[in-house]
Structure 1
């Protein structure tokens, strides 16, 4: 293990190591698995609880978990940041993405929200060049387009009347794209722990008035546990994503968000009884092949 610029350990790789992009890709895939679990849990919870309450509890449980795991009372410098304004903007991007997504899943099917959210890699890849100086080559752009086609095969947008709530998914997608880019930018100067803590604390306090104003008592112990799990899935997922962003450029990691479709299909079947159709299987296969090609390209580019 090595350390990031602020002393937080990085998992299994360091800048310049030929295996580092592969480690970053692995961390990204695990992060998106956590995000899939978060989305499935949120969809279940918002059927009986207000969306804003679920959002607030997602960040509150995230903060409590992080405080305990990092023992902040012993290590107050975990909150240190060299770029406080950028941290706050990033936190609100994460909050906007979460609110938009949780509001959308109340009205839309997961396939519909997915089809919009998976436009984020286009935005990330396009903006990463002028914003971060990380330009994507033609092969990576081609793989992104192929992966997006696979997502469209699964989601089949336009096959029915589009619900007005798609605006929530569009807002979530744009917010998430900027969150991903700001994470990459901050990873050069701030520790993973500071980014994980500050974003959650800012979001928790920002959402407290709205979350408490609509508070409804969870109907069972299971709902309480699932509310806590939203913080676990979100916190662990974003910690993994922060680690990955410190190890590889944004255009390298952006296409692997498509792998989330595989875990989404699996959770949809296990939790909601959604049986995958032939188009779902075909589209998911295209997504997987696109990701495997990118993985292959990363391997052959390294000595």
Structure 2
């Protein structure tokens, strides 16, 4: 819960100083970090093809966001710290999934986050006069809670290294949301990147299912 709160805070701070494209590119290093750490900390076995699929998803992400390589000085520390906290959160969720059910993990994470934010509320509270803003915040909270619950469920059925390529799919959903909400149509490069991400995610699922179906020697 604490890691989730810190990750969200760092994401908001990052977007105050760094454009969305550059921020997304930095944070999308998370799957690569988690895959490496899953071998070291979770003792998971990763074969070369899985490494290739994860790298392919990362390349697809870069094709979509096409970061400009600007120098943001000290502000770049925010997305780097966000990536580190997010990696730790993903790994910890995977570790807890081995010893506890998804509902318990989701419950305690939510209450820890609620407690920390309640304690900080007197310091950061700003009056929200518009009912529309209240509705947006409520919707955001429901979606975030649902996403975390589904993540915990996923870790109970698959190792972290298998799930990581699917994390890239959020870039495709972000592009779709931008098109629906802001009429921002994706160009050819963006569609190519989405296609690469989908191919890597589908390839990872196929390879994992095939490995499970093979008889143990």
- TM-score, with structure 2 as normaliser: 0.90
Distance in 1 separating the partners of 2:58 and 2:87: 15
1:138 corresponds to which of 37, 48, 62: 48
Distance across 1 between alignment mates of 2:122 and 2:80: 26
**Equivalent residue in structure 2 for 1:204, among 100, 110, 114:** 114
SS of the equivalent of 1:302 reads helix
Q: Which residue of 2 aligns with 1:172?
A: 82
2:6 is the alignment partner of 1:126 = no
Structure 2 CA distance for partners of 1:206 and 1:235, relative to 1, 3 Å: same
Is 1:181 matched with 2:91?
yes
Distance apart, 1:96 and its partner CA: 1.5
Matches within 5 A, 1:57-136: 91-136=1-46
2:26–2:80: 8 Å Cα contact kept in structure 1? yes
2:185 aligns with 275
CA RMSD in angstroms comes to 1.7
Please say which of residues 271-280 and 93-102 is displaced more in the overlay: 271-280
As a proportion of its length, which structure holds more helix? Answer: 2
Q: 1:211 to 1:275 in 2, by over 3 A?
A: farther
Structure 1 stretches of 5 or more lacking a match?
1-90
Aligned length: 213
**Cα drift, residue 174 of structure 1:** 1.0
- Divergent runs of 4+, >4 A: none
User: Aligned-pair distance for 1:178?
Assistant: 0.9
Contact 1:125/1:250 (8 A) holds in 2: yes
Query: d(CA) in 2 for partners of 1:116 and 1:192?
Result: 28
Q: 139, 147, 162: which is aligned to 1:229? A: 139
Superposition deviation, residue 182 in structure 1: 0.8
Distance in 1 of aligned mates of 2:17 and 2:186: 21
Aligned in 2, Cα 1:282/1:253: closer, same or farther, shift over 3 Å?
same
